[in-house]
Structure 1
Amino acid sequence: MKNLIFILLVFVSTLAQAQNSELFEEANDAYANNDFETAINKYEKILENGETSVAVYYNLGNAHYKLNNVAPSIYYFEKALQLDPTDEDVQNNIEFARSMTIDDIPVNEETGLQKSINSFISTFSYNTWAYLAIALSIVFVVLFLLYYFGRTSLQKRIFFGVAIFVFLLGGISVFFAFQQQEIQFNNQFAIIFAEEAPIKNEPSQKGDATFSLHAGTKAKVLEDYQGWVKIELSNGTQGWIEDNYLRRL
């Protein structure tokens, strides 16, 4: 019975992958023919099927960009960068998309050692650091076996020294993986999807609107309260916005 269930799961998984692959090709063809609406529908269908990838998010961002849909374009480029922060194509295209936004908000740059550390950790995603740690663990085991079965004292010293070095690198990778996970957990962001959204000084319709934000602007999510979200902009400005005006990354 267990074997039958396993076979069925494998079959369903294979069928879903084949379907998503077909949808991806159809979406790419629609994009190539400038039928961006059809391409968007098919890419979104892939996401609905539970598959995520840099390519799908990237292509979705491009399709929305072609239609001048500022907020969705930036949103999907941001989703692609969450999976691979080093992708240069995504980095370049998101800058083009950001140039279409209305709000020009300066960035308060971090300074000091912590900025350098966070910048280095953010070079890779949580998964990449985790995979690197696993790879280094495998290399450590191989080196330890070579040390154990080494025939000469020189070989043993070399293999032991390299094994310890690799072990330390693996430990650092594990630490960076958890740090990156914590950074992502503590830094929840959202994209403004409303054409114009009033930002209030309190989570209430009675609150005063201190300023407005427009489609495509990125904000950090600080707090949720009864359908309202407290956000912080890149310049440190804070305020409350209705939850339905934004989409979380």
Structure 2
Amino acid sequence: MRESRMSVASARWVVLLFVLVFSAYGASDPERAFQEGISLYQEGRYEESLRAFERILESGYEAGPVYYNLGNCHFKRGEMGRAILYYERAARLLPGNADVQFNLGLVNQTIVDQFEVEDDFFLIRLWRGLLDLFPKPLLLAIIGSFYLLTILFVIASILTSRRGVRLVSRRLAVLGGILFVTAGLLFLARHLDEKGRIEAVILADRTDVMSAPTGTEVFVLHEGTKVRIDRRQGEWVEIILPDRKVGWVKAEVLDVI
């Protein structure tokens, strides 16, 4: 399992960013809690490390490296369901990260339920890969950057008296506007995709899956299985498996990614 390379190298600036954004509100210090969690983890004190990382989430901060290290802690404690849950959450905030994907693949090999899944049409895979290429915070930063650049070039085209500069500024303003709209549409598509694709992980050791909330057992699932939630009915949720089987389970046996 890959433990510390991403933890120290790429997580510090992410957590520091949250510090800068929320420090004005008097929030607790997530960077200090993060470094404490890393130190405790390296000492093999996994339960205390887990609590340190959880304090960051309880303070209102959310970052891929925090979820990644929570996954590592649960993996060391033998809690594979929660390890998968937090690695999946990390993967959504750090799409394409090699450490997250490696550990997620490793822990997925340990679960009981394995499925034969048919590949989606290549255009669907291509589109989903494009959506997963950029995390939403990065897309927001890109949108803001293109917006500011477009405004600056518009202002430059209005204020300059040089014909050549005015022409170039107008063209760059048009290009910036196109990129701004494109990034905005990509962000909207990603948001709608996530909203319509509610996924969860089974956390109970063994779960009876029913044909309906008051129906009969149709099959059994085990800890760590990833499912998609289709709808809710009281304390029950209808789930869809990777092999497209459908059934109902109690909401208490799973947690949403």
Q: TM-score, normalised on structure 2?
A: 0.85
Q: Is 2:222 the partner of 1:214?
A: yes
CA contact (8 A) 1:125 1:180 kept: no
Partner residue of 1:149 out of 152, 156, 159: 159
Equivalent residues of 1:108, 1:236 under 8 A apart: no
CA distance in 2, matches of 1:173, 1:238: 35
Structure 2 residues not aligned, in runs of 5+: 1-21
Q: Which amino acid aligns with 1:223?
A: R
Per-residue CA deviation, residues 27-69 of structure 1 (Å, 9 max, x unaligned), is: 2111001111111122112222222211211111011112221
Aligned partners of 1:70, 1:165: CA distance in 2, in Å? 48
Determine if the alignment matches structure 1 residue 247 to structure 2 residue 222.
no
Tell me the equivalent position of 1:191: 201
Aligned-partner Cα distance in 1 for 2:86–2:209: 24
**Whole-Å Cα distance in 1 between the matches of residues 175 and 34 of structure 2?**
43
Render the CA deviation track for 1:122-143: whole Å, top value 9, x for unaligned. Answer: 2123332222111101111122
Moved more, 181-190 or 58-67: 58-67
Secondary structure in structure 1 of the residue aligned to 2:242 = coil
CA distance in 2, matches of 1:106, 1:182: 27
Letter of the structure 1 residue corresponding to residue 105 of structure 2: E
Q: Which runs of 5+ in 1 are unaligned?
A: 1-9
Could you tell me which residue of structure 1 aligns to residue 144 of structure 2?
134
Q: Structure 1 residues 139 and 12 mapped into 2: Cα distance closer, same or farther (>3 Å)?
A: closer
Which segment is superposed worse, 136-145 or 79-88? 79-88
1:238 CA displacement: 0.9
**Partner residue in 2 for 1:13:** 25
Aligned residues of 2:28 and 2:59 also touching (Cα < 8 A): no
TM-aligned CA distance change 1:213 to 1:172, over 3 Å:
same
Q: Distance in 2 between matches of 1:11 and 1:178?
A: 29
Distance (whole Å) between structure 1 residues aligned to residue 124 and residue 110 of structure 2? 32
1:170 correspondence with 2:180:
yes
Mapped contact 2:70–2:83 kept (Cα < 8 A): yes
Alignment RMSD:
1.9
Secondary structure of the corresponding residue to residue 224 of structure 1: strand
C-alpha displacement at 1:94, in angstroms? Answer: 1.0
Deviation of 1:112 after TM superposition, in Å, equals 4.7
Which 10-residue stretch deviates more, 110-119 or 72-81?
110-119
Q: 1:12 to 1:176 in 2, by over 3 A?
A: closer
Seq. identity, % = 22
- Cα deviation code 1:73-116 (max 9, x no counterpart): 01111111222223222122111111111111123322153442
Match of 2:65 in 1: 55
- The answer to whether the 8 Å contact 1:126/1:178 transfers is no
Amino acid at match of 1:198: D
SS at match of 1:240: strand
SS in 2 for 1:122: helix
Amino acid at match of 2:245: T
CA–CA distance in 2 between the matches of 1:107 and 1:162? 46
Rounded Cα–Cα distance in structure 2 between residues aligned with 1:139 and 1:200: 55
Q: How many residues align?
A: 236
CA distance in 2, matches of 1:201, 1:94: 30
How far off its partner does 1:195 sit?
0.7
The residue identity in structure 1 corresponding to 2:256 is R
Q: Which has the larger radius of gyration?
A: 1
- The one-letter code matched in structure 2 to 1:218 is K
CA offsets 1:219-243 (integer angstroms, 9 cap, x no match): 0000111211100111211111111
